[in-house]
Amino acid sequence: MIWRNIASNFLTVAVVILIVAAAAVAWGKRQYSGPGPSAIAQCVQVPPGASLDSVSKQLSEQGAVSSSYIFRTGADYAGKSRDLKFGSYLVRPHASMDEILRVITAGGPSTCGIEVTYRVGVRENSVVLRDVDPTTGEYVEQVKYDPATGEVPEAITRAEAQRGTRMRLTVAEGVTSYQVVQGLRQISLLAGETGSVPPEGMLAPDTYAIEKGLERRKLLDDMEKSQAGILAAAWEARPFDLPYKTPEEALVMASIIEKETGIAAERPQIASVFVNRLRDGMRLQTDPTVIYGITKGREVLNRGLRRSELAARTPFNTYQIPGLPPTPIANPGKAAIQAALAPADTNYLYFVADGTGGHAFATTLEHHEANVAKWRAIEAEQGAAAAALAGQGQGTGVSN
């Protein structure tokens, strides 16, 4: 009897233990796959070479997971404990442990964390420090300065020295090779000399990952390699009735298209105008080429063109010379290159600004002159409005 009671009690205890264990497992699964504790988006950072243990503790400390132990156990069970990918990842509010694990083991580009962007622009260069606002999941600009004139803010210096900061160089579409070289020289983070200015048009406008000590010449070489690949692919896919003899001529055209419009949807139409003019033996008559002939791409011409400049016969004055100028006038982006080699099918021969930031197109000179008249009227209205605004509160010198 005694042994029977002991066996019965042992069996009861075992059953209770099994029930408790099953309940604990079920609870753990719910904790792992259920909504997480964080009511705001979280930026989860995985340093290079980080262990699952350190990442799980970090997640617990910042309130992204309720238990570092359950997170590690779930990762082990899923066979992903060694699959962590370096980077900074934004996870949504109340993300489950399972979801967080999938994000930090999938890899891909970082989606949060401190970011310093060095921008080479047509009119100015800038350095911008951004970070993600966890409450919105959006990047917020925190510091911005002009590297040519301003002292480096302390926040930028700290960010550059901080492990995990993403640093990028963004080269705007339409900048000249001279401007790119000057911009790289202003970035103290980079090393080495730039060497000679690369050929105009042969640097791909894009965003490039950079790091402290990266050689400037290597960065320029990478830009050239990228642009050569873009041009080669577009040239290979072109229709064979275009008026270009070489890829280099197409690049010249792409640079003109780039400088004529900043509206992506217009580029094929702008390209069609110039292609139609070349086919008809008409001069291109485009201001940006004349401007490049004056500035050589070294500065921005902050004024209108003079009659004498439009009348001067130079290699870049397309009002005076037939065909294309001898070189590109800027570094065109991929879209402009594709437009030059895949223009829209139109009969347009003319275009002029329409006052909205875009252009009005025409097939006949008569129609074009009407569009020009409309643009002149808009210009006059804008000028009058600006003058009135400038004169407010200054007095006119006339008494009633």
Residue 400: what pLDDT?
27
Same domain, yes or no: 134 and 191: yes
Reported as a single tens digit per residue, the pLDDT across 36-63 is 888 888 788 888 788 888 888 988 888 8
Total domain count, the chain = 3
In a domain, 90, yes or no: yes
In a domain, 40, yes or no: yes
In a domain, 375, yes or no: yes
Q: What is the pTM of this model?
A: 0.77
Same domain, yes or no: 244 and 378: yes
Average pLDDT over residues 295-324: 93
**Structural domain ending residue among the three candidates 59, 74, 106:** 106
Reported as a single tens digit per residue, the pLDDT across 139-177 is 788 889 998 887 888 888 888 888 778 889 999 999 999
Same domain, yes or no: 350 and 252: yes
Among 5-19, 58-72, 311-325, where is mean pLDDT lowest?
Answer: 5-19
Residue 260, pLDDT above cutoff 70:
yes
Same domain, yes or no: 211 and 178: yes
Same domain, yes or no: 364 and 324: yes
Reported as a single tens digit per residue, the pLDDT across 215-245 is 999 999 999 999 999 999 999 999 989 999 9
Counting Cβ atoms within 10 Å, is residue 224 exposed (0-12), middle (13-18) or buried (19+)? middle
Tell me the CATH number at 93: 3.30.1490.480
Average pLDDT over residues 283-293: 95
Q: Residues with Cβ < 8 Å from 186, sequence gap 6 or more?
A: 125, 147, 148
Domain that holds residue 282: 238-384
> How far, in Å, are 113, 120, 364 from residue 189 at the CA level?
19, 15, 53
pLDDT-derived band of residue 5, with 50, 70 and 90 as boundaries?
low
Question: Vertex 20, ends 19 and 21: CA angle to 5°?
Answer: 90
Asked if 340 contacts 271 with a C-beta cutoff of 8 angstroms, the reply is yes
Average pLDDT over residues 336-359: 92
Same domain, yes or no: 94 and 152: no
